[in-house]
Amino acid sequence: MVATITMRREVRRRRGWIAHQRIIARSETVKAKTGMQPASTDLIRSLREDEGRREIQIACTI
């Protein structure tokens, strides 16, 4: 029973690691094609703090 649980955890961990590696490889491919993309963090923060966010919310409720 314990061995089965341990084995399932290891399989899930390895699948997660493989998926992570695929994501990193895909990111590198995109970066090579398009160059470095600006981080979206600043844009998201400005939208949260700015009046533009309120205008979007009002437009969505109409």
23-49: pLDDT as tens digits: 999 999 998 998 887 888 888 888 888
Distance CA 56, CA 47 (A): 10
Rounded to a whole number of angstroms, the CA Rg of the chain reads 21
pLDDT of the residue at 60: 66
Of the candidates 56, 39, 34, 38, the residue with the CA atom closest to the CA atom of residue 47: 56
- State the pTM of this model: 0.54
Distance CA 1, CA 60 (A): 53
Sequence length of the chain is 62
Distance CA 39, CA 20 (A): 20
